[in-house]
A and B are shown apart, each in its own frame.
Chain A
Amino acid sequence: MDAIILQILNGLDKGSAYALIALGLTLIFGTLGVVNFAHGALFMIGAFCAVTLSRLLSLSHEVAIPGQVDFLGNPATRDVPYVYDIFGEAAGAAIIDWSVPLAILLAIPVMIAVGVIMERGLIKHFYKRPHADQILVTFGLAIVLQEIIKYYYGANPIPAPAPQAFVGSFDFGALIGFEPGTIIYPYWRLVYFAFAVVIIGAVFAFLQFTTFGMVVRAGMADRETVGLLGINIDKRFTIMFGLAAAVAGLAGVMYAPITSPNYHMGMDFLVLSFVVVVVGGMGSLPGAVLAGFLLGILESFASMREVLEIVPGLNQIIIYLVAIVILLTRPRGLMGRKGVMED
């Protein structure tokens, strides 16, 4: 029982990442009708916002350590971050320690800027072009973005640890009546899940309760009509693109402590998130979220030893197997609308 609860928690956690990426993909697809293969790269750039901030905060000057030498025999030096000089050693260390959550502040403007520039500079010229062209141009963009990151940050993963306050685990089981110590879960992963729920909720609330959101939703349903009403839908869609980029970026920032960011993490997530979007049903926001969590949980269960002993290798194929079964039983995914992306 406790094993199953733990796997559900794992699944929700994995699903959070899938759902957040898929949500942004669906927003872009639903509003702009664009298949964005560069969406994984946006997630990756978000994660590198965390890395960048932690590097910026750790910018240091060298102080010689008397009496020690480095590996080449030169006098050894010690790096002292400038924030230590400004805020004092304790406060400076705390700021560096909190660099991942702080990176959210950096990521929001950066990601919105990246999204808006992408949309205005490139994507808007592709609204009327075939999906194949959209795929090619955004795929090219994704390669360019990740190669730029690789050029500056290298190919190896770079650690971006969570703040000390979130290191360690929470005894989740004790809370719901299990023996203490049976169901413990890392704080940061619980934070990630909660964060994802908040972001998803905020996006839905934004679309549901603001006039801006209402226009966008109407535009998703019928772009031309809304355009005829004299509403400048293009401008709103640009903002939507920025928003979707920000969602992907925030998902990336907060994910950095879970797996160390590297330049190709976007591509790793790209195919998976497309599967999630399609399983959820093209153009359906609730579908994307639902499919994200569903696939995350199923993937977690499939990696249990008890399951693998019965079906070896199931963990390798589970996502795709589920996708096939769902698409064959539900022609337009879990919550897809008719006629969207079917031709």
Chain B
Amino acid sequence: MSKGNLTRRGVLKTGAVAGAGLALPTYLSAAGHEGFTNAPTGSTVTLGFNVPQSGPYADEGADELRAYELAVEHLNGEGDGGMLNTFSSKALQGNGILGKKVEYVTGDTQTKSDAARASAKSMIEKDGAIMITGGSSSGVAVAVQALCQEAGVIFMAGLTHSNDTTGKDKKANGFRHFFNSYMSGAALAPVLAANYGTDRKAYHLTADYNWGYTTEEAVRSSTEAMGWETVGTVLTPLTQTDFSSYITPVLQSDADVLVLNHYGGNMVNSLTNAVQFGLRDRQVNGKNFEIVVPLYSRLMAKGAGANVKGIFGSTNWHWSLQDEGSKAFVQSFGTKYGFPPSQAAHTCYVQALLYADAVERAGSFAPCAVVEALEGFEFDGMGNGPTLYRAEDHQCFKDVLVVKGKENPSSEFDLLEIVEVTPVEQVTYEPDHPQFAGGALGSCNNGA
């Protein structure tokens, strides 16, 4: 094996004052002569994959990294091409990006804003990465997105579900393919109403951080619009592992639905605890008590074991989808790694391809050119049906999957079944929707 990894330095910015004091002016590189940060000069281009490799989301990060490696293979014309064959845009030739071979560097976000920015900075400053992508939480996505805006590189968000990523904290250099809290609420509410009726009393347990707040708000407002009543909301610390003291008050209330605005380990534990306390066997107000998990992650759901059975939630993508794009992706991912990809892997793979395609169409790596190419871009064949990258907030609009924990899983990957594919019209909102108000895209930044 001889995969090369040439690191190539990038230049953040040339400061006149700092430069003035230095000797040997002839050796000073005329930084930024291409007019943007880390303009690739050789025969290769470097992408930065910034995923959690340690901490609670390390497995999700590992899956993202697998997807990126697959994407790089496909971009460089190796392997079976995956979604390149089904992607509606045919700009990509399988010869790298703009003829340059795709190289990559990796970093560990540790799912901490600080560490994620440090590793993104090192990829930009040391390795000359032209684009940063990845991540498995909204806090990190927002922090890294702001960094990329400042440094003048493109950020293609990984798994981030908070409204804020393309709401209050949106940035011109940042793009999100993943869906968001609002879309989860909008897609779930009709399904919940159809299955559980419109006369329901909901009790929310919400993780006490930004993503939790936006998800609670989204689910509340869309279920209340259907006629549900919210009888209680309690914030739970992120570090909580035993949720019993939050579950027992639910038993005492007259709620007949429990909404768990939790993700990852929190979701696994709160759901396990809720089932343990017999919530699912309860009868309240003459109805069966129900539990809802607005955002499902199949990888994490595995940790909750049998407890997910029959529980509704939403997801960005699932490997059992039968469209051509999904089938092609599952085929090439499964062949390479031996198991089906997660939704995190899917969104990351798609983001890498979308970026490459935008560069190809723009004919330039310059961030502002890429932004222009992605804004308002409509595409298909990437697993979620026809999709729009909206210019106003850099959010993808596509169908949303409402899923349910499967009663009889046939394998350890077969945990969710798709209940409904909510059409994109139903989850689209105005750019100035109150849940997304505040903040501004600003203008794109080419950096140097």
Contacts and interface: CB of A to CB of B under 8 A. Distances in A.
Direct contact of A and B (CB under 8 A): yes
Interface of A: 2-3, 6-7, 9-11, 13-14, 17, 68, 70-72, 76, 150, 154-159, 161, 167-169, 184-186, 188-189, 257-260, 262, 264-265, 268, 299-301, 303-305, 308, 312-313, 315-316
B71 interface: no
B268 interface: yes
Q: Can you list the 8 inter-chain pairs with the closest CB atoms, starting with the nearest?
A: A159-B305, A157-B303, A155-B58, A300-B245, A6-B248, A169-B278, A10-B245, A303-B245
B334 interface: yes
Given A6-B252, A188-B276, A305-B232, A259 B241 contact: yes
18 contacts: A7-B248, A14-B244, A154-B58, A156-B303, A157-B268, A158-B303, A159-B304, A186-B278, A259-B268, A259-B272, A259-B273, A262-B56, A264-B55, A268-B239, A303-B245, A305-B232, A315-B235, A316-B237
B59 A155 contact: yes
Summarize A's interface: helix, strand, loop or mixed: mixed
Interface string B308-321: 00000000000110
Contacts of A156: 59-60, 299-300, 302-303
Interface in B286-326: 299-300, 302-307, 319-320
B139 interface: no
**Residue of B58, B208, B299, B335 ringed by the most chain A CB atoms within 10 A:** B58
B410 interface: yes
Contacts of A9: 248
A304 B269 contact: no
Given A3-B249, A70-B411, A13 B268 contact: no
B304 A71 contact: no
B379 interface: no
B57 interface: yes
A260 B244 contact: no
**Residue of B55, B57, B303, B319 ringed by the most chain A CB atoms within 10 A:** B303
A189 B278 CA distance: 12
Contacts of B213: none
Contacts of B410: 68, 76
Given A71-B319, A260-B269, A262-B56, A299 B303 contact: no
Contact of A260 (B55, B232, B246, B272): B272
B242 interface: yes
Nearest to A79: B411
Given A10-B245, A71-B411, 19 more contacts: A2-B252, A6-B251, A7-B245, A9-B248, A72-B330, A155-B62, A156-B299, A156-B300, A158-B303, A161-B305, A161-B306, A184-B251, A258-B272, A258-B276, A268-B239, A303-B234, A303-B246, A305-B232, A315-B236
A152 to B, nearest CB: 13
A303 B236 contact: yes
The size class of the interface chain B forms with chain A is: 35 or more
A166 to B, nearest CB: 10
**Residue of B265, B340, B410 ringed by the most chain A CB atoms within 10 A:** B265
B331 interface: yes
Contacts of B340: 71
Summarize B's interface: helix, strand, loop or mixed: helix
**Residue of B236, B242, B330 ringed by the most chain A CB atoms within 10 A:** B242
B236 A159 contact: no
B300 A157 contact: yes
Interface in B248-279: 248-249, 251-252, 265, 268-269, 272-273, 276-278
Contact of A14 (B237, B242, B302, B331): B242
A55 to B, nearest CB: 12
Contacts of A185: 277
**Residue of B269, B278, B281, B413 ringed by the most chain A CB atoms within 10 A:** B278
Contacts of B56: 155, 262, 264
B317 to A, nearest CB: 14
**Residue of A11, A167, A189, A305 ringed by the most chain B CB atoms within 10 A:** A305
Nearest to B58: A155
Interface in B206-245: 208, 232, 234-237, 239, 241-242, 244-245
Contacts of B300: 156-157
Given A6-B248, A7-B248, A13-B244, A155 B236 contact: no
A159 B234 contact: no
Contacts of B334: 71-72
**Residue of A155, A167, A186, A262 ringed by the most chain B CB atoms within 10 A:** A155
A260 B305 contact: yes
B306 A155 contact: no
A184 B249 CA distance: 12
Nearest to B279: A169
B396 to A, nearest CB: 25
Contacts of B237: 315-316
B272 to A, nearest CB: 6
Given A71-B320, A168-B278, A189 B304 contact: no
A155 B55 contact: yes
**Residue of A3, A156, A315 ringed by the most chain B CB atoms within 10 A:** A156
A157 B244 contact: no
